[in-house]
Amino acid sequence: MDYNFQWHKMFSGEPAQWMWDGFVTTLQISSISLICAMLLGIIICVLRMTPFKPFQWFSLAYTEFFRNTPLLIQIFFWYNASHVIIPTAINEWMNDLYYWFPGPFSMFGTQFVGEWVLFNVELITGVIALTVYTSAFIAEEIRAGIFSIPKNQLEASRAVGLSFLQGYRYVILPQALRIVIPPLISQALNLIKNSSLCMVIGVTEMMFQATQIESYHAIPFEAFSVALLIYMIISLIVSFCITMYNKHFMIQVMY
C-alpha cells in the first residue's frame, strides 16, 4: 500500500476548521429538525386518534406516504420541485432567507469578521425534509405508546370534565411519551445520521466538509475517517443514554 497518511492536516489549519464548521452545522440542522419533528409527530398522532374521520385519513396518508418514500427523493423534492406548488411569496421569502450577525464579533475566543450566516435556503430545506420524514416515524412510535395505556384512563378523564384534547394533553400523552422515550431517542439518532444526506443540496454539514477536504487537500482516508468517528461517538453517546434510561425505568417498575 503506497499511501502517505497525513493525520496532522486534519487537526490544524483549514481542514480542522472545515470539519468543525460541518460538525456545528450537523448539530444545528439535527437539533432544529428533531424539535420540529417531535411537535409535528405529536400533532399527527393526536389527529390519528381523534374520532373525526377526515383527520384520521389525513394522518394515515401522511405517515404512510413519508415513511414509505426514500428520504433522498424527499430532499430533492423540497429543494427542486416544491416551488411549483408553494405560493410565490413563500418562495421569494425562502430565497432571501439569510439570518446573520453583523461582524466583527468574538465568540469562544474566535474573531468573526463580516456577516455570519446562520440559516439559508439549503439549511431550511434540509430541516423541512428531515422534519416531515422523521415526524411520520415519531407519530407511529407515540401511537404505539398510547395503545399501551389502558383505554379507561381516557374515559376517566372525560368523566371528570376534561375534553378530548385535554385528556390527551394531561393524562394520555405524558404517560405515552415516558414509555416511548427509548425508541424516540433511536429516532433522534437516525435523524442525526440522515442529516448527512443533506449534502446533496449543498448543506455544509460534516460529510459535505469531508468531501471538500478530500477534494482540496487530497486526504480522503483521513477526512472520511474523522467524519465516521464523530458520527460513531454521537451514536455511542445516544446508545449510552438509552441504556441508562432503560436501567432507571426497570428499577422503578420493579419497586
Q: In the chain, what are the domains?
A: 25-205 (1.10.3720.10)
Average pLDDT over residues 2-30: 85
Q: Is the peptide bond before 51 cis (omega within 30 degrees of 0)?
A: no
Instruction: Give the three-state DSSP class for 99.
Output: strand
Contacts of 196 (CB under 8 A, 6+ apart): 26, 205, 206, 207, 231
To the nearest whole percent, how much of the chain has pLDDT over 90? 32
pLDDT band per the 50, 70, 90 thresholds, residue 254: very low
Instruction: Tell me the C-alpha distance between 25 and 200, whole Å.
Output: 15
Flag whether pLDDT at 61 surpasses 80: yes
pLDDT at position 255 is 34
pLDDT at position 118 is 52
Flag whether pLDDT at 1 surpasses 70: no
C-alpha grid cell, residue 94? 425562502
Output the pTM of the full model: 0.81
Instruction: Give the three-state DSSP class for 255.
Output: coil
Instruction: Tell me the C-alpha distance between 6 and 200, whole Å.
Output: 27
Rounded-to-5 percentages of helix, strand, coil across the chain: 80, 5, 15
**What are 162-198's pLDDT values in tens digits?**
887 788 778 888 888 778 887 888 888 899 999 999 9
